[in-house]
Amino acid sequence: MRDAYVVGAGMIDFGELYDQSFDDLLEAAYLNLLEDVDKGVEPSDIDAGWYGTIDFANEGSSGASVAHATGLFEKPITRVENACATGSDAFRNASLAVRAGEVDLALVIGAEKMLDDTAGLIQGAAVERLWRGRGVTMPAFFGMRATRHMEVYGTTKAQIAEVSVKNHENGTKYPHAHQQFECTVEDVQDSPTVSYPLNLYDCCPVTDGACAVLLAGEDVAHEYTDEPVRHAGWGLSSDTFQRGDDLALSNFPASRHASSRAYERSGYGPDDVDVAEVHDCFSITELITYEDLGFCGDGEGGEFIESGAPRLDGHTPVNPSGGLLSKGHPIGATGVAQIAEIYEQLRDEAGDVQVDDPEVGLQHNIGIGRNATGAVSCVNVFDRG
């Protein structure tokens, strides 16, 4: 089986894009992608597309929506939905097809229009099914891990806040990030309580966005760029706290399963990762992800952030783009945008957030479904090929 390579990425500025429709977002990411490919690409070269969206805007968005937005008709375009791992799983599916040799050049595009109807974010907690997440919002689901982590490991609210401080600082240096401001631990702790123990600045903003990347088989990748980035490994896994494992109360076993498989497939381990874009929908999510990805030991996430290791100049820079906390979390676009950022990093094109000469990059999502009891994680590992 051949390898699959990323040969281009098209990012748009994330934000409150009230003047752009769902179609506009897709179109903008697609056009940016075409422009980004080093040696150029003809739309007719694209064999197939994978489209990641949870269709938060409820527009009945399907593969055909991408065809309408891009003009790529008569081609197989598949919509993928997998909670917060939607974009990264769309990418994974595209990569599998490329690796299998069925597709030479694949478009992966993720988009989410979050701000046309923000009521849904809160209203989802009014689910009329007992025991399946009534009254459980996203901040509650992740906040429960924070409470447990603080109880079991003595992690402090200040350590959790440090994640937000780091990512907001990075975000001010990353042009596509939605939130462009720095904050202190005190700012985080003084911001309004959203869901104890999480405050407002522990939570990612509500953001519109889209991103596209192009995947090519190893035998054709060099037709598009001399610096392709190899998709070296992947893992996808699901779990639920209901299974009874106490670890699922403070961490995400799904992230551990997914990253183990990705490490195994790529031949790399956590110590080999030079740069990571991980799922920081909330500050606590990134802190426990350090542990779940093996960047530090169990219960050491608080010390890890305090040590400065995940900072831009640290041992394992995490979320140089500012992460979801400052970049925003347009769900279908999120994973694709993380991959686009890893692509830039491994090509030394990340500007003010470029880390020092990275060889191996990792992308990670952890999400929950509508029933709010389970978790799904997708991890992709990249190298310079």
Partner 1 sequence: MSGPRYHRPKRQDQRLVAFECQSCGWVSYPERKRTCKGCSAAPAEYEEVQLQERGEIKTFVVQHYLPDDIETPQPVAIVDVPQVGDGEPARIYGLLAESELDELEVGREVEARFRELFDDGDRPINSFKFAVPRGEK
Partner 2 sequence: MVAVVVIAGCGGYVPLYRIDREAIAEQHGGRGSGESAVPGRDENHVTMAVEAAELAVERAAVDELDAVVSASITDPFAEHGIAAHVAYRLGATGEVRTADFRASGRAGTDALAFARDFVRARDGTVLVVAADVLPVEPGHDDEPYAGAGAGAAVLVPDAEEPAATITAVGEATTGFVERHRLHDGVATGGDGRFEREAGFGPAVSAAIERSGVDDPDRAVVAAHDARMASGAVEDASHESTFGSVGYAGAASYYLDLAHCLEEADAGESVVAVAYGPGGADAVALETGTTADVGLTVAEQLDSKEYVTYAKHLEYRERTEYTGVTVA
The smaller minimum CB distance to partner 1, of residues 181 and 196, is found at 196
Query: Which bin fits 131, alpha (ψ -120 to 50), beta or left (φ > 0)?
Result: left
84 is catalytic: yes
CB under 5 to 8 A by kind: which of partner 1, partner 2, none does 185 bind? none
Alpha carbon distance 292, 61 (integer Å): 33
Rounded to whole angstroms, the Cα distance separating 21 from 212 reads 16
DSSP-derived pairing of the beta strands 4-11 and 77-80: unpaired
296 catalytic? Reply is: no
Binding partner selected for residue 76 from partner 1, partner 2, none, CB under the kind-specific 5 to 8 Å limit: none
To partner 1, the closest distance from the beta carbon of 246 in angstroms equals 8
Closer residue to partner 2 in complex, CB, 140/249: 140
> For the chain, what's the residue count?
385
Rg (CA), the chain: 19
Residue 17 has, within 13 A of its CA and on its CB side, a CA count of 25
Q: Which residues bind partner 1 (CB under 8 A)?
A: 122-123, 125-126, 128-137, 139-140, 143-148, 151-152, 192-198, 240-244, 246, 249-250, 372-373
Nearer to partner 1 by C-beta: 251 or 319?
A: 251
d(CA 49, CA 67): 9
Interatomic CA distance for residues 50 and 78, integer angstroms: 5
Return the SS3 of 373: coil
- Positions that interact with partner 2 (CB under 8 A): 123-124, 126-129, 132, 370-371
Chosen from partner 1, partner 2, none, partner binding at 206 (C-beta under 5 to 8 Å by type): none
Binder of residue 144, out of partner 2, partner 1, none (CB less than 5 to 8 A by kind): partner 1
CB 233 within 8 A of CB 259: no
Q: Per the residue annotation, which of 84, 203, 204, 211 is the catalytic one?
A: 84
In this structure, which amino acid lies at residue 253? P
Q: How far is the CB of 45 from partner 1 (least distance, A)?
A: 43
Nearer to partner 1, 198 or 212 (CB): 198
Catalytic residue list: 84, 329
